[in-house]
Structure formats: C-alpha cells, structure tokens
Amino acid sequence: MSVSLPEQLPARSAPRKLATGVNPYAPAQARIMRVQDLTSEIRLFDLRFTDAALAESFNFRPGQFVELSVLGVGEGPFSLPSSPTRRGMFQLGIRRAGTLTNYLFDHVIEGDFVGIRGPLGNGFPVELFEGQDVLLVAGGLGMVPLRGLLHYLIDQRDRFGRVMLLYGTRTPDQVLFREELESLARRGDAEILLSVDNAQGKPWGGRVGVVTELLDQVSFDVTNTYAIACGPPVFYKFMLEKLVARGFGRHRIFLSLERRMECGIGKCGHCAVGYTFTCLHGPVFSYWDAINLPELIYT
C-alpha cells in the first residue's frame, strides 16, 4: 500500500487553505465515534468529520496536529496518533490538563460533536525515511504523535528498513497502546523495547530504568538511520545528546516541540521560539535546527 501525503510547503509562501474550511479559524464539525481510556489520565477519542466528503478526503502528514474545540469552552492543539494510511476516521489521545481537556473528560461522550481545524504544522519528513532504518524514541505522552508515525511506517512496511521503537514511561500502567505495541513486536513488524522508571511491583517484562538506557540495548547503523524523538522537555534534555553521542548526525535526529498555541496558523505569535513559529515551521524540527534556535528547546 502507498499513500500520497499533503506536500510540505515552505512557510510564508503561497496562500493556502486548511482542509477544514476557508476560514482557518472556523472549525469543521466532527463526531466522537468512540472513547477509550488509555490510562486514568489519558483518553483516546476516535473522530469522524460530519461532512462525508471531508471525512474521506482528510489527509495529513504523521506529526501534524489539529486544533480541537468546543465553542464556549475552549480550543487546544492535539497531535494525531492515527495514520493517514487509514482514512475515514482519525484519533486524538488527550491528557487531562485544564479547562478544555477536563470538559472533554467530564462532559463529552460517544456521539457528541466537537470542532476540528487542521491539519496544522509541518509533520515528519517521512519521504527522507524511505529505504532507511527508522528509530523512534518516545517518552510519556510523546508516544501519541509517534504512534501515528509508527502506523504509517508499518502500513507501508516494505518502503522502510528496520523500524525500532524505544519507549519509556514512569510506571507500567502509563504505557500507552501497550497491547498493540506488544502485538506489533510479536508479529516482527517493529523492534520494540519498553522501559519504566518504576515497576511498582506490577508484572513487567520490559526494562526498569530511564528511557535513555534503552539506547544501549540496540545497535544500529547511524549512516542509514533516522532518529525521531518525542517527549517532555526533560526527556529531550538527555535523549538528544545521547543520540549524538551514539553517532547520529544532528540532521538525522528529528523532534517535535510543544509550545503555547492559540491560532495554529502562524498569526497569533504565542508559539514563537526564537525565529520560528512552532505551529507553522514546526512542530517538527531537526535537532540541528532546534539547537540553533535562540531560545533553547529545553526551557
């Protein structure tokens, strides 16, 4: 199977339009088809656009995100943990964090409608990964955008070399998509290593320790591998330099930045990091580009 993705246009070029409407601030209506708790704090929502044509045509790059809103409550950016190889439906993995997310947990049920704007941001440069080995490293909620990329790679398995995933969380019950990942590993579609900081006495077949240590358990050919890292600031702080220490060129490492966002389309200014707007030039940056931003990525 092979899908074509929306082109990665350079920022500040030709006028463009969002799939969800001509007015980039006005969301398209989508229906919550299924709700599933991934952990006590993180919930997976399956969504489908009410407009049938939009539902079928909605295409995005792994690593892009959408703005989800409930008018009267608020709006926020969320990564897409689903893959454009699977059309019709898309998913969001949402953590309880504040006004909007609390509302989604406490008041939104299957069958309800929400607003969606997108897809937004640049996404991962997946074209580069073709014929190469791909190493995904995730920390905590960073698994959400990487799961979309993982599905994308697996669904077109023959276009890529080895697919490896190193994923760390604090405790075993915080591992997102655990059964699915275990099944992928059993099938041999991906090499998957999991770690937790603390097993808390629960049955745990993975490693106990910080996620960076998983890097020592795999060998790879750094001239033929891209590393994609996604996690909280402290994860980046240790993981990125460790990848460099293992021989990765900084242009072979990609990461996704998180910043305060309001508009998602490069207008409101909130997501600025140094000279870039995270929502428009990012959220995906090569490590080389990120490290050269005047405002450091860890802060």
Instruction: List the structure tokens of 226.
Output: 């891209």
CB of 12 to ligand FES, least distance (A): 12
Looking at the Cβ atoms of 174 and 278, the one nearer to ligand FES is: 278
Which CB atom, from 269 or from 274, has the smaller least distance to ligand FES? 269
* Amino acid letter, residue 25: Y
Contacts to other proteins by CB under 8 A: 11-13, 15-18, 22-26, 69-76, 97-98, 101, 258-260, 262-263, 265-270, 272-276, 280, 294-295, 299
Q: Does 255 bind ligand FAD (CB under 6 A)?
A: no
User: Closest Cα to residue 153, out of 85, 99, 56, 88?
Assistant: 85
277 contacts ligand FES (rule: CB under 6 A): yes
Minimum Å gap between C-beta 236 and other proteins is 14
Cβ 1 vs Cβ 85: under 8 Å:
yes
Query: Which of 133/148 has CB closer to ligand FAD?
Result: 148
Q: Does 295 bind ligand FES (CB under 6 A)?
A: no
Binder of residue 78, out of other proteins, ligand FAD, ligand FES, none (CB less than 5 to 8 A by kind):
ligand FAD
From 222, 268, 291, 293, residue interacting with ligand FES (rule: CB under 6 A): 268
Sign of CA dihedral 7, 8, 10, 13: positive
End-to-end distance of the chain based on CA atoms, in angstroms?
Answer: 41
Residue 271: CB minimum distance to other proteins, A: 9
What are the b/e assignments for 228-240, b being 16+ CB within 10 Å? bbbbeeebbebbb
88 counts as binding ligand FAD under rule CB under 6 A: no
| Contact flag: residue 260 with ligand FAD (CB under 6 A) | yes
Site residues for ligand FES, 48-77, by CB under 6 A, read none
The 3-state DSSP class for residue 112 equals: coil
- Which residue number, 118 or 172, has a Cβ lying nearer to ligand FAD? 118
Residue 9, Cβ neighbours under 10 Å: how many?
10
Alpha-carbon span 70 to 210, nearest angstrom: 37
Of the candidates 60, 283, 287, 290, which one interacts with ligand FAD according to CB under 6 A? 283
Per CB under 6 A, 120 contacts ligand FES:
no
Task: Give the rounded distance of the alpha carbon of 115 from its chain centre.
Answer: 20
Interacting positions 116-145 with ligand FAD (CB under 6 A)? 141, 144
Residues 236-265 binding ligand FES (CB under 6 A) are 261-264
- CB contact at 8 A, 43 and 94: yes
DSSP for 61-94?
-TT-EEEEEETTTEEEEEE--S-TTS-S-EEEEE
Positions touching ligand FES (CB under 6 A) are 261-264, 266-271, 277-279
